Amino acid sequence: MEVPLAGLPSGVRIHEVGARDGLQNEKATVPTEVKAEFVHRLAAAGLSTIEATSFVHPAWVPQLADAAELVPLLADLASDPGMRLPVLVPNQRGLERALELGVREIAVFGSATESFAKANLNRTVDESLAMFEPVVARARAEGLRVRGYLSMCFGDPWEGPVPVGQVASVARRLHAMGCSELSLGDTIGVATPGHVVTLLDELTGSGVPVGELAVHFHDTYGQALSNTLAALGRGVTVVDASAGGLGGCPYAKSATGNLATEDLVWMLQGLGIRTGVDLVRLSATSAWMAEQLGRPSPSRTVRALTHREQ
Ligand code: MG
């Protein structure tokens, strides 16, 4: 049943991360053809922004080592003007590989904290921003859209709670560099709604328009939907989610990582907020992918809708 709530947007664009953020954090490596089928099924279920893969060095993320083989298998989708298929690129080499394959949208992956920048990129925050600068400039010059991920926006496993001013400072630098969308990541899933609102207000108060912000919540402590609702109330209309809840969180030794797209769509549908997603079709896709991975989907909505199959 649809029952709207005042003060929320009429539509949300879901940035589907299952094929990239999800699969890169799964133990099993999925064959390229299965990934291609997965992305096609996600598109058929109505998702219009699907982060397809990552051009990081294969030694870092072996699960996505087939990026250059996968992208050509998505050419039919890429030719649809209504479809967005961003890929993650870590550096200039990654960008060149993506450009050669005709990719039209990229994302870079930054950190709000020094500890995670060191752990993930082996660089300081300043050094990582200096590495992204020519990547973003070249991508923009080629007419590409660039998303900037900012991880550890709420808590960091080494540093504890992260001050909102610190997050805003790194976010402003990514924005000034030319990232037209910033995805605020709660990488270890510790955020709660008041913290979300405080960070969003700090960012919009310091000049980053809310229309250029996305939220990326993890369900580690069961807070992802509460946090999403709080962000929607502040005008955010882009929400990251992972089909079937694919991808645990390697930094928070927990089975539950990414917010499941189905759980998000169930809430948005109930609120009468447009997403364009066919929930039954999407859940069937996630149940199918769970079979490929040999374990049930952690999404409660997928389980509820497909209980006979799992
Ligand atoms: Mg994630």
The total number of structural domains in the chain stands at: 1
Is residue 6 in some structural domain?
no
Across 107-121, 245-259, 272-286, least confident range: 245-259
Is residue 276 in some structural domain?
yes
* The one catalytic residue among 71, 125, 182, 249: 249
**Amino acid making up residue 202:** E
pLDDT tens string 154-186: 999 999 999 999 999 999 999 999 999 999 999
Is residue 225 in some structural domain?
yes
Contact criterion met (CB below 8 Å) for 246 and 277:
no
126 alpha carbon to ligand 1 midpoint, in Å? Answer: 23
16 alpha carbon to ligand 1 midpoint, in Å? Answer: 10
Residue 116's domain comprises 13-309
d(CA 73, CA 37): 9
161 alpha carbon to ligand 1 midpoint, in Å? Answer: 18
Is residue 5 in some structural domain?
no
Q: Report pLDDT for 295.
A: 86
Flag whether pLDDT at 296 surpasses 90.
no
CATH code where residue 150 lies? 3.20.20.70
Does residue 249 have an active-site annotation? yes
The confidence band for 257, taking pLDDT boundaries of 50, 70 and 90, is confident
Q: Is 207 exposed, middle or buried (0-12, 13-18, 19+ CB in 10 A)?
A: exposed
Q: Tokens standing for 291?
A: 């079979």
Flag whether pLDDT at 308 surpasses 70.
no
Is residue 230 in some structural domain?
yes
Mean pLDDT calculated for residue range 72-99? 97
Is residue 8 in some structural domain?
no
For residue 214, the cross-strand partners are: 183, 238
pLDDT tens string 18-33: 999 999 988 889 999 9
Is residue 1 in some structural domain?
no
Instruction: Please give the angle made by the CA atoms of 230, 234 and 235, to the nearest 5 degrees.
Output: 120
Flag whether pLDDT at 250 surpasses 80.
no
Is residue 7 in some structural domain?
no
